Structure 1
Amino acid sequence: MLIYRYIIRELIFPFIASLGIIVFLFIMQQAMVLLNRIVSRGLDPAVVFEIFVIQLGWILALAIPMAVLTSTLMTFGRMSGDNEITAIKASGSSMFPLLIPVFSAGLVVTVGLFYFHDLILPEANHRASKLLSDISRTQPAAFIEPGVLIQDFEDYTLYTHDVDPVTGDLSGIRIMTDAAGQDPTVTVAASGNVRMTNDQRFLKLTLHNGETHSYPRDADQEYYIGEFEKQVIYIQNVDSRLQRTESDYRGNREKTIAMMLSDVEDLREANQNILVNHHKIIDTLSAQMTRYDSLNKVLPYDSEQTDIMSFDKWIQHYGKSIPVASNEVLKNKDALQRVIRRKHSNDLSIAQYMVEVHKKYAIPAAVLLFVLIGAPLGIMAKRGGLAVGGSYSLFFFIIYWAFLIVGESWADNLIISPFLGMWSGNILIAIAGLVLLYFMLQEKTIRFDFVKHFFAFLTKNQLIKSISKSFIFKIPGIIFLLPKIITRKCIKILPTYLMGQFLSYTIGLLIAVLVIFVVVDYVSNLRRFEHATLLEALLYYWYYLPWLIQTMLPVVLLLASMFAMGKLVKQSELTAIKAAGVNIRQLTFPLLGFALFLSVAAFYGGEVILPLANERRAELSEQFRHPPSMRDSRQPGRREYRRNFFYFGDPNTMYVFKEFSTNPQFARQIQRLSFREDGLMQRIDAEEMVYDENSGWKFLNGQIRSFGRKDSILLTFDTLDDDVLTSKPHDMVKYVRSKREMSYWELKNYIEISRQRGEQVQRHKAELHFKIALPLMNFLVILLGVAITARTGRKGGPINFAIGLMMVFAYWIISRSTMVLAQNGTITPLAGAWIGNIIFTVIGIILYRKAAH
C-alpha cells in the first residue's frame, strides 16, 4: 500500500541520522580511550583504522535498538504534529494498519540483529581482544633525542648533547652499561655516528675520540681507563613490530550461542561428577562420625542435609577426646570444601554463559518493543524532531540499560536467574508499550497538566503572590534581563535574538547530556559506590562536571549553533533578515565573538578548575574502595622511591642513585660524574648522601677520583659538601600527576624539572601546546555550524548536520593523531598541536565566506 511505503520512507532518514549520531558519540568516546594508547606505539595507520572498524561491532549492537526507537518517535511525532495522523483517521482508517510497516521493518532489524549478535559480534570481539593484546606487547621504537637520557635499551643508558636526524651524527656522547655478570662501564666520546643494521635489530654506534672507564664490582680500589680514537658498539634495539598471534581461547562474549551451550553442557556434566564425589565424601564422613559416636544422636548424618557446619560442630564436640577421629574427619572436610568450591565456580560460569545466551536474544527482541513504545508515544506527543525523539528515547533506553546492567551483575553472581536478569528490562518495556498503545487507541495525548495546575495554584495563592512581589525575588529576573538589555544596545536586536536562541539550545542540550551521562555512569558503576554515602556520590559527580563539560561542550556547541541557525532558516526568518538589509556577517559576528570568549573560558576552566576537580575526584574514588570505618587518615607528605635514578645537577654533571627516597629521606650508593667533551673530569662515589635545609647536600663515606689528561688522583672522605646539586629531594622526584590533573603552568614547570632529570620531554611539550590549541575547538565548531547551516538553506539541513558531526570527529581524530606523532618525535610539538586547528580554521573561513555571499 502507498501509506506503508510512505511510512517506511519516512523512517529511513531519521534512522540513519540517529544511528550516525549515536555511533559518532560512541566512537569519540572510544577514540579518547584508545587513540593515545595505540598510536603512541608507532603502529601503521591501517592497524589503527582496523581497530576502530572492529570496535564498531559492539557499538552497532547498542546503537541500532536506540536508533530504531528514536527514528520511530521522530517519524510518528512529525506525522502527528503535521496533522497527517488526523487526516488518516478522518479518512476512516484505523491506527493499527499504521503499525504494520514499522513492525515489519522492526522484525527485519530484529532478525538481522540476532544473527549479528550470534555470528558477527563474537568474531569481532575475539579479533579485537587478540589485536589489543598484541598491541600491548609492542614497544615503541627507541629514538635518540638530544639532551635526553635514553633508557629504553636493555643494560644501556645513552645520552648525547646533539643529534643530526638526517645524517645520524652525534656529539657529546655518554654511554653507561650495567649488565649482569659484567663490570659497569662509562664511555665518553666527543663525536660519533648512529646507524640501524639492515634487519633493524641493532643500533651501530661508531664513537670517535673518547675514553672508557670501568671498575670491578667487588674491588673498590681497582679502576681501568682506556682511551680510543674509534670504537664501535652494537646495542640491541627494542622490538617495535606488531607480532600478530593466533589464539583459540575465547571469553564468553567471543562465543556463539552454540559454543556457549556446549560449554554449559560440559559444566553441568562436571557438576554431576562433583555431586557424586560430594555424596561419597559425605558418606565417608558420616561413617567416620558414626563409628566414633556410639549413641549416634549428636547430629543428623543424612548425606543430603549434612553440611560443613555440622562437621565443625562434631569436631568441636569430639576433637579433644578422640583426636584421631577428629583428624580423619578434618581431612575429609577439607576435601569436601574443595568440591563445593569447584561446583560453585562451575555454577558461576554456567550463569555467565547463560546470561550471554539470553542477552543475544533479549537485545534484538528489544527492537520490536521499542517500536511498540515509539509509535504510540510519537503519535500522542504530537511533536517530531531530534530533540523530542532523542529525549523520549534516551529516557526509555536508560531505563532499559539500567535493568540490563544490574540484571547482568546479579545473574552473574547467582542472585537472580539469567532469564530474569536479561529479560526483566524487556518485560518492563513491553508493559509500558501496551499501556501506551491503549492510550493511543483511546486518542489521548501526553500532557503534563498537573504541572500547569500546580503553578496555577501557586500564582493564585495570596501569600505566595505577596512574597513573590518582594524585591529579592525580582533579583534573578533583573540578573537575566540585564545582559539582554546590554547586548541589544551593543550588538542590536537581531544578533541578540540569535544569541538568545543559541544559548537556550546550549543550556538545554548541556543539561540533558550531563543528566544522561551521570545516570548511565552511576547505574553502570554501582559497585564503585558500594562504600560511598549519598553525599559522597553527589560530591563525586560534582567534581566530575568540569571534565564532562569540557568533553561534551564542542558537540553541544555544534548542535546548538546548527539548531539556532536552522530555526531561522526553517521559519524563513533568515530570508526576512537578509531582506531587511542585514547580512550573515552582521548577524553572526557577535556569536563568533562569543565563541572566542567561550574558548578563553574553556582554557581557564581546563587549566584552573579542571585539574583540582580531577584530583578531588581521584581522591574520592580511592576512598570508595573501603568502608568509612576502615579509611585511614592521609599521611602527611608523599613518599617517592626510585632505583637507578639519574639526575642532572648541571649540563655537565650527572648523578646516579642506586636508591633514592623522599619519605623517609635517604640516598644510597651514589655516583657523581663530571664530564668534559671527550672524557670524565671527576667521579665521586659515596655510600650515602643526606640533605639539610640549611647546608644542602652532603656525601658520606666515599672517594673522589679526579682525571687529568695523563694522570688521576684518588682521595677518600667521611663527609663532603656538594657544591653542584641545589634541588630539594621532593623537587627532584616531584610527583607527576596525570595530564588531566596538571594545569598548563604545572606542566610547564614539570618540563623544566624533567630536563634536569634527563628525561624525554617531547611528549609533555606536545601536551603543553595542545592545552592552548584544544579550547579553540569550541570556536571552530560554532564557525562550522553557522557556516554550514546558513549556506544550505532549508533543503540541506539534515545532510549537512551529519557533515558537521563528521567534521568535528575528523578534527578530533586529526588533532589527537598529530599530537601523538609529535609526542613520538615524528613532527614538532608545535605543529602536532596546531595542525588540526589550522586545517579546520581554513575550512571554516572558506565555508563562512561562501555563506555570507
Structure 2
Amino acid sequence: MSILTRYVIRAHLGPFLFAFTAVTGLLFLNAVAQRLEDLAGKGLGMAVIGEFMLLSLPHIIALTFPMAVLVAVLYTFSDLTARNEVMAMAAGGIRVTRVLFPVLLVGAVLAGGMLWFNARVLPESNHRLSNLVADIGSKSPTLELREQVINEVRTADNARYRLRARTIDPAANVLSDVTIYDLSRPGETRVIVAREGQMAFTEDRADLYLTLEDGTMFDTSDSRPGAFQRMDFERQILPFRGVGTALERRGEGSRGEREMTIGQLRDRIDRELTSLESLSEEQREATVQAVAQTLGLDREGTDAGEMEALLDDGVVSAMTSNLRTAGLRWNINRLNVYRYEVEVQKKYSIAFACFVFVLLGAAFAVRFPSGGVGMVIATSVVIFFFYWAGLIGGERLADRGLVHPTLAMWFPNLVLLVPALLLSITMGRSIATSRGGGWDSLVWKVKDVLGRPFQSKSGTDTSPHPVATPGG
C-alpha cells in the first residue's frame, strides 16, 4: 500500500467514525425514548434492559452505516480539494481517479461487509428482539401482540389462548379482525371471531379485559363429533387474568420476513411459487372434471366448444365462484412472493448503496468543495431523503404488487448511480479550488441544467457576453 493510499484512507477514518457515532447515537436515543415508558415500572433487571438496548442497535446500524460512508467521503474530498491537495496531486502527475481508486476498493469491501451484516446479523437480532419484546409484553399485552401473527396468551390460572389480529393500534389499544382460539378446556375448542377488539388493563396492569364488538362464537366438543354451537354477539368482554405478573422467557417464536436470512426467504419464495403452480393445476383439473361430470360426457370425446354450449346457468355460476376463490388465493400467494422478494433485494440494495455513496460523494465533493460543513450536511440530507423515500415508497408499491420487487428496491441506487458516473467521468477536468466550487457554483450549475431545454426551444443565447468598455 503506497503512502498516498494510506493517507487518503486515513483521512476518511475520523469523519466516518464521528458521523457514524453521532447519527447512530441520535437514532438510538430516539428508539430507546420511544420504548422507555413501556419498559419502566415493570421490575425488569438491568440484564434484560441491557439486552433490549443491545438488540436495538443492529437495525439502527443498518440505516446509519451507509449514511456515515457518504458523510465521510463528502467531507474528506471537499476538504482535500478546498486545501488544493487534489490540485497539487494533479500538478504532480497523479490523476484524480488514482486518488479515488483505493476509496472505491474500500467502498466495495464495506458493501460486502454490509451485505453479510444484513443477511446474517440483522435478521437474527430482529428475531431475538421480537421475542424479547413479546416476553416483556407478558406484563403488557399491547407490547406482546403482533399483527397477522398467532400470539400465545397465558393467564395466571394456566388458561391458554391463541390470538390473531389483522391490525393493532398500540396507542389506542384497538385490534381489528380478531380471531381467538380458547384452548383452556380439554376436549373442547372455542373459536371467537370479532370485527374489532378494545383492550383495557387494570391499574396494576396485571389483568387484561378485551371487549369484542360484532362477532361470532363457535363451540365444538370431542363428546359430540360433527356438532357445534354458534352464538352471535354485538359485544362481549373476555377477561385474561394475571397476564402481566411475571416475565417469562419462552424461547423461539415464529419469524416475520424481516427476521429471516436470505436462505430462509428463498425457501419461503420457492414454497409460495410451488403453491401457485399447484393451485393453477388443481383449478384447471377441477374445472375440467366438474364440466365433464355435470354433462355426463367423456372428456376425451367432447371438444371444448360443444361442452361450453351444453352448460346451464347453474354450472356456470358454480364455476365462476370457484374461479373467483382460486383467483383470490392466487393473488395472496403472489403478494407473499413479492413481500419476501422485497426483503431479499433490500438486503443487497442497502449494501450496494455504500459503493454508490462513495462514488457519488467523491465526485460531488471534488466539483463543489467550498461549501464547507454546511455543504456536506445539506448534500447528505438531500441524498438521504431521496434514497430512503425511494426505498420506502418502492417497498410499499412492491408489497401491493404494483411494481416488481427488484425494480422497487434498486431504483434509488440506479438513479443515484447515473449522476455519480457522469460526475466521475468529468471529475479530472473540473477540479475546483478554494476560491470556487461553492454554493454559488452549485446554484449556477443547477440553473444551467434546468434552463437548457428552454434555451434550445427559444433559440436564443443567454450566456453572459463581455461588456464593451470605453476605449476598449
Report if TM-score (shorter chain) is over 0.5: yes
Q: Distance in 1 between matches of 2:306 and 2:110?
A: 55
Paired position in structure 2 for 1:590: none
In the superposition, relative to structure 1, how do residues 439 and 302 fare at CA in structure 2: closer, same or farther (>3 Å)?
Answer: farther
User: Cα distance, 1:248 vs. partner?
Assistant: 4.1
Question: 1:398 aligns to what?
Answer: 385
| CA–CA separation in structure 1 for the residues paired with 2:127 and 2:429 | 49
Contact kept? 1:380, 1:440, Cα under 8 Å: yes
Report the alpha carbon displacement of residue 40 of structure 1 after superposing the two structures with TM. Answer: 3.2
Task: Confirm whether residue 429 of structure 1 aligns to residue 416 of structure 2.
Answer: yes
Q: For residues 488-515 of structure 1, what are the alpha-carbon distances to aligned partners after superposition, in whole Å with 9 as ceiling and x for unaligned?
A: xxxxxxxxxxxxxxxxxxxxxxxxxxxx
Provide Cα deviations, 1:361-388, integer angstroms capped at 9, x if missing partner. 1110110000010111111112375432
Q: SS at the partner of 1:408? A: helix
**For residues 384 and 12 of structure 1, what CA distance do their matches in structure 2 show?**
21
Matched, 1:333 2:320: yes
Distance across 2 between alignment mates of 1:453 and 1:431: 19
Name the residue aligned to 2:84: 83
The one-letter amino acid of 1:36's match is E
Q: CA deviation at 1:242?
A: 1.2
Contact 1:69 1:393 in 2 (8 A): yes
Q: Does 1:282 align with 2:282?
A: no
Q: Deviations over 1:48-99 (max 9, x none)?
A: 2211211111110110011000000000011111111111111111111111
Q: 1:188-228 deviations in whole A, cap 9, x for unaligned? A: xxxxxxxxxxxxx9xxxxxxxxxxxxxxxxxxxxxxxxxxx
Q: Which amino acid aligns with 2:102?
A: P
Q: How does 1:6-45 map to 2 (within 5 A)?
A: 6-45=7-46
- Paired amino acid for 1:352: R
Residue 265 of structure 1 pairs with residue 270 of structure 2: yes
CA deviation map 1:411-460 (0-9, x unaligned): 11111111101111111111010121133122155514649999xxxxxx
Would you say 1:352 and 2:353 are equivalent positions? no
Tell me if the contact between 2:335 and 2:401 (Cα under 8 Å) persists in the aligned partners.
Answer: yes
Measured in 1, the distance between the counterparts of 2:376 and 2:98 equals 22
Secondary structure in structure 1 of the residue aligned to 2:95: coil
C-alpha change, 1:69 and 1:36, in structure 2 (3 Å) is same
Letter in 1 for 2:132: L
Deviation at 1:241, TM superposition (A): 2.4
* Equivalence for 2:425: 438
- Pairing 1:370–2:353 present: no
Q: Which amino acid aligns with 1:104?
A: L
Q: What CA deviation, in whole Å up to 9, does each residue of 1:512-552 have, x standing for no partner? A: xxxxxxxxxxxxxxxxxxxxxxxxxxxxxxxxxxxxxxxxx
* Residue 54 of structure 1 pairs with residue 55 of structure 2: yes
**Residue 252 to residue 301, structure 1, CA distance change in 2 (3 Å):** farther
For 1:77 and 1:19, locate their aligned partners in 2 and report how far apart those are by CA, in whole Å.
Answer: 18
Residues 39, 48 of structure 1: 8 Å contact kept: no
1:28 to partner: Cα distance: 2.3
Counting matched residue pairs gives 338
Kept after mapping to 1: 8 A contact 2:73/2:361: yes
Question: SS at the partner of 1:416?
Answer: coil
Alpha-carbon distance in structure 2 between the residues aligned to 1:274 and 1:27: 45
Question: Aligned-pair distance for 1:245?
Answer: 1.2
Q: For 1:90-139, what per-residue CA distance to the aligned partner results, in whole angstroms no more than 9, with x for missing partners?
A: 11111111112211211121111110000100000001111111111215
- Judged with a 3 Å threshold, the aligned counterparts in structure 2 of structure 1 residues 52 and 90 are, in CA distance, closer, same or farther, namely same
Flag the 1:382–1:237 CA change in 2: closer, same or farther, 3 A: closer
Amino acid at match of 1:404: L
| Cα shift at 1:333 | 3.0
Decide whether the 8 Å contact of 1:369 with 1:429 is kept in 2.
yes
| 1:647-691 superposed Cα distances (whole Å, 9 cap, x missing partner) | xxxxxxxxxxxxxxxxxxxxxxxxxxxxxxxxxxxxxxxxxxxxx
Identify if the C-alpha distance between structure 1 residues 387 and 52 changes in structure 2 by more than 3 Å, giving closer, same or farther. farther
**How many Å separate the matches in 2 of 1:8 and 1:83?**
18
State the Cα distance separating 1:270 from its structure 2 match: 1.4
- Write the distance in 2 (CA, Å) between the matches of 1:302 and 1:451: 71
Asked if the contact 2:81–2:431 (Cα under 8 Å) also holds between the matched residues in 1, the reply is no
Whether the 8 Å CA contact 1:362–1:423 is kept in 2: the answer is yes
C-alpha RMSD of the superposition: 3.1
Aligned to 2:122: 121
CA–CA distance in structure 2, aligned partners of residues 290 and 439 of structure 1: 74
Cα distance change on mapping 1:452 and 1:29 into 2, 3 Å: closer
Distance change (3 Å), C-alpha of 1:349 and 1:380? same
**Paired residue for 1:67?**
68
| Residue identity (%) | 29
- Given candidates 255, 258, 271, the residue that maps to 2:260 is 255
Q: What is the 5 A alignment of 1:288-299? A: none
Q: Hey, what does 1:136 align to over in structure 2?
A: 137
Counterpart contact for 1:73–1:378, Cα < 8 Å = yes
Q: Partner residue of 1:102?
A: 103
Code of the residue aligned with 1:277 in structure 2: it is E
Look up the SS of the partner of 1:243 in the other structure: coil
1:358–1:422 CA contact under 8 A, matched in 2: yes
C-alpha contact (below 8 Å) 1:118/1:360 kept by paired residues: yes
Q: Identify the residue that residue 609 of structure 1 maps to in structure 2.
A: none
The separation in 2 between residues aligned to 1:338 and 1:326, in whole angstroms, is: 18
The 5-angstrom pairing of residues 607-618 of structure 1 reads: none
Measured in 2, the distance between the counterparts of 1:348 and 1:238 equals 35
Q: Is the 8 A contact 2:131 2:253 kept in 1?
A: no
Please report how far the alpha carbon of residue 279 of structure 1 lies from its aligned counterpart in structure 2 after TM superposition.
1.0
> Structure 1 275/452 Cα, relative in aligned 2: closer, same or farther at 3 Å?
closer
Question: Residues 79 and 415 of structure 1: is their aligned pair in 2 closer, same or farther, counting only changes over 3 Å?
Answer: same
- What residue number does 2:250 align with? 245
Are 1:73 and 1:384, in contact at CA under 8 Å, matched by a contact in 2? no
Preserved CA contact (<8 Å) 1:73 1:389: yes
**Retained in 1: the 8 A contact 2:272–2:333?**
yes
Matched, 1:387 2:374: yes
| Cα distance in 1 for residues equivalent to 2:15 and 2:337 | 40
Deviation of 1:302 after TM superposition, in Å, equals 12
Q: 1:252 is matched by which residue type in structure 2? A: E
* 1:365 to 1:301, Cα distance in 2 relative to 1, 3 A: farther
**Counterparts of 1:410 and 1:64, CA distance in 2:** 25
Give, as a single letter, the amino acid of the residue that structure 2 aligns with 1:377.
Answer: F
Deviation string for 1:231-279 (max 9, x for gaps)? xxxxx98753211112341111111111111111111111111011121
Higher relative contact order (CA 8 A, sep 6+): 2
1:305-352: CA deviations, max 9, x gaps?
Answer: xxxxxx9xx9xxx9xxx9xx4334433433332222221111111111
1:527-584 per-residue CA deviation (whole Å, 9 max, x = no partner) reads: xxxxxxxxxxxxxxxxxxxxxxxxxxxxxxxxxxxxxxxxxxxxxxxxxxxxxxxxxx
Q: Which amino acid aligns with 2:16?
A: F
SS at match of 1:137: helix
Is residue 80–residue 86 contact of structure 1 (8 Å, CA) maintained in 2? Answer: yes
CA distance in 1, matches of 2:97, 2:446: 32
